[in-house]
Amino acid sequence: MRIEPAGIAWSATGVPSAPAYGDVYHSADGALGQARHVFLHGTGLPARWAGRERFDILETGFGLGLNFLATWQAWRADTARPAQLSYVAVEKHPCRREDLQAIYARLLGPELAPLAAELLRAWPPLTAGGHRIYLHRGQIALTLFFGAAEPLLRKLTLQAGALYLDGFAPSVNPDMWSPGLCKALARLAAPDARYATWSVARPVRDALAAAGFSVQKQPGFGHKGEMLAGGLLPRLQQLAAQHAVQPARDRSAVVIGAGLAGCAIAQRLAARGWEVSLVERHAAVAQEASGNLSGLARPMLALDDNLAARFSRAAFLMLRRHLEALAEQALPLIWGGGGVLQLAQDARQAAHQNAAIARQGFPAEYVQCFDAAQASARLAWPVDLPGWFFPAAAWVHPPSLCAANLAHAGARISQRFSHTAVSLHYDTGNWNVLDGDAKLIAAAPVLVLASAYEARNFAAAAALPLKRIRGQVTHLPQSLLPHLDIGLCREGYLAPGHDGRLCLGASFDFDDDDTEPRASGHAANLARLERLLPGASAGLDAARLCGRVAFRTASLDRMPLIGALPDPQAVVNPGWQLRALPRLPGAWCALGYGARGLVWNTLAAELLADQIEAAPCAIETDLAAAVDPARFALRAARRGGTDGA
């Protein structure tokens, strides 16, 4: 979906307005006063969140973010506040950062200026889909979904305790108050949820009542005499209670595998207050595929903005925010954020990718089209093909990312390294991880398999359709291309290193278990270098080069496996929906990252933590379904027992 930014004007009374809708963003009697009276007090806040571990809010129409800032301020000032505040909002026309900055400078006083500044620093590119932002030292999770409200609400996962209904007037923007939208809100409401809105229009009252909400008029704010507030009717309260997922009481987990996947999961759970045992057969992190010298983190593009492209975009943007957060804390992360240039393979691909960028309307801070001259200038090397420059993309030393994640988590992670997990036993609510002598390594009610292809050694994951792919990278001296400060990719990739070496790769060898680098592999990588930078391989002898071999693990459809493990003994009805498939109790996995583990690991960990905690989901339901590890069992049932993608 193409995102059209908000157009901002100012009314005669000094109120920001949207010319496209002919309406103002807030009451002329005061934006913050309206936010506090209508939305906070109208939903019973802050009193209703007192004493809770987490409180979830859903807003229709993020607008200028003033309701969010008022809520953040109230939460910060409340001594009985929940430890975590989750705020989810949808917005079809998000504001540009520079517009928000100008508005905040004009509207906000010194008490809210620091909060606004922190929000602006984290403000995402205006691209469709979900954007999770952590604020206030990670205690506030703001999840923004950019796109049309009703279709997005149908794809959200949360149980909101408060609903802020704040679209433009129903007379000019009826889609924000439609019966379908209100029905979606009822599905997303917790049993004790309260909603509030400034509008008392008859269509709004009728849509809310038809969706199962009580409708009560209350004194409005300023010159507006009335507003609406209410909650679910008793029959829907009972239904919501039946479908409510209770978060785990014992917040402890065992994660098997200390590569990019496992370290990211351990960090995200620890950041939410969990105690994590990280089990790894090697003596240190990132000894397998996550141990390469350098890798590139960039999104992928698709003309139809398919599931893979959307997941890649959400993952890339979350990773970039995470890298910046780790770097700000001076953790042991080695990376360079100067961007990545992807050269076209041919004229057809160039036209295809340029059309994708034009159709999606991506902002320049996300991706830019380069002709051959621009690409040559950026690389300081002549190339004859156009490409796409991702300014926020980065090269990363994967082992340092693993180390930084563990350092961030600190004592909440118990490192059980040099321990090989051989068997798993579930007993009385706990997963017991045993070594080859049947000695206990770790135990917890939650188990996460993040050990790539080795996960298939356990009965719980043996049926997952994973394949092992050999990859060889070649190390080159930085002096070969001393001015290269960005990542470069086409059929292969070239990434700056951190110790005077470039990382060139990589081969993609099926049915090959050779663990040692081969001259033939280096020769193939040099051919990739020649296609990237004609003439750069001159004088290099493949027989004299060094490198590294690692084995990626990929799924049959090239999407990762992230979520609850399906019960391998269950009989699957082909008529079931994915969510109905039986799962192993407390067992989860993060597998099949293939060649995109660097891009996917942070979002994958966030998604898994959301699911384990029954928290609002960072991505849409169709994306979560696309990576659900049970998808293959359902596909096999629908194909009469033949597993596949």
What single string gives the DSSP state of each residue in 212-253? Answer: TB--EEEE-STT--EEEEEEB-HHHHHHHHHHPPPPPSS-EE
CB 337 within 8 A of CB 296: no
Asked if the model's pLDDT at residue 288 lies above 90, the reply is yes
d(CA 335, CA 397): 6
Q: What is the DSSP-derived secondary structure letter of residue 291?
A: G
Q: What is the pLDDT of residue 26?
A: 85
- 9-243: CATH topology is Rossmann fold (3.40.50)
User: For 82-90, what is the mean pLDDT?
Assistant: 97
Query: 16-30, 172-186, 269-283, 353-367: which range is least confident on average?
Result: 16-30
**Does residue 115 register a pLDDT over 50?**
yes
Spatial distance between the Cα atoms of 37 and 585, rounded to a whole number of angstroms:
44
**Region 167-179: what's the mean pLDDT?**
95
Task: Convert the pLDDT of each residue in 559-599 to its tens digit.
Answer: 999 999 999 999 999 999 999 999 999 999 999 999 999 99
Q: What superfamily does domain 335-393+467-555 belong to in CATH? A: D-Amino Acid Oxidase, subunit A, domain 2 (3.30.9.10)
**Could you give the percent of the chain with pLDDT greater than 90?**
91
The percent of residues above 70 in pLDDT, for the chain, comes to 99
> Which residues have C-beta within 8 Å of that of residue 87, sequence separation ≥ 6?
56, 57, 59, 68, 71, 72, 140, 141, 142, 143
pLDDT band at 50 (very low <50, low <70, confident <90, very high): very high
| Phi, psi dihedrals of residue 251, rounded to the nearest 5° | -90, 65
CATH code 3.50.50.60 region(s) in the chain? 252-287+400-465+557-638
606 burial level (CB within 10 Å; 0-12, 13-18, 19+): buried
In sign, the C-alpha dihedral spanning 598, 600, 603, 604 is: negative
Report whether 153 contacts 182 (CB < 8 A): no
Q: Which residues contact 166 (CB under 8 A, 6 or more apart)?
A: 39, 59, 60, 61, 63, 67, 197, 198
Per-residue model confidence (pLDDT) at position 644: 46
> What pLDDT does residue 645 have?
41
Q: What's the distance, CA 106 to chain centroid? A: 33
Instruction: Give the 3-state secondary structure of residue 202.
Output: helix
Asked whether residue 266 carries a pLDDT value surpassing 60, the answer given is yes
Task: Classify residue 150 by burial, with Cβ atoms within 10 Å: 0-12, 13-18, 19+.
Answer: buried
The Cα-based distances of 405 to 265, 370, 472 in angstroms read: 9, 35, 26
> Which of the two residues, 500 and 306, has the higher pLDDT score?
306
**Nearest one of 317, 167, 298 to 596, comparing CA atoms:** 298
Q: What is the pLDDT of residue 642?
A: 52
Q: What tokens were used for 457?
A: 């050694």
- Sequence ranges of the chain with CATH classification 3.30.9.10: 335-393+467-555
> Which DSSP state fits 423?
E
| Model confidence pLDDT, tens digit, residues 544-561 | 999 999 999 999 999 999
pLDDT confidence band for 499 (50 / 70 / 90): confident
Rounded distance between C-alpha atoms, residue 30 and residue 28, angstroms: 5
Band of pLDDT at residue 641, cut at 50, 70 and 90: low
pLDDT of 74 over the 90 cut: yes
Range(s) within the chain of domains with CATH label 3.40.50.150: 9-243
Q: What is the pLDDT of residue 246?
A: 78
The rounded mean pLDDT for the chain is: 95
pLDDT tens column, 440-451: 999 999 999 999
Residues in CB range of 533: below 8 A, 6 or more apart: 379, 381, 383, 481, 488, 494
Residue 570: what pLDDT?
A: 93
Q: 486 near 494, Cβ under 8 Å?
A: no
Q: How far apart are CA 153 and CA 132, in angstroms?
A: 16
Residue 614 CA: distances (Å) to CA of 248, 253, 335, 458, 620? 8, 15, 33, 26, 14
- CATH 3.30.70.3040 describes domain 252-287+400-465+557-638: no
pTM over 0.75: yes
Region of residue 502 (left: phi > 0; alpha: psi -120 to 50; beta: else): beta
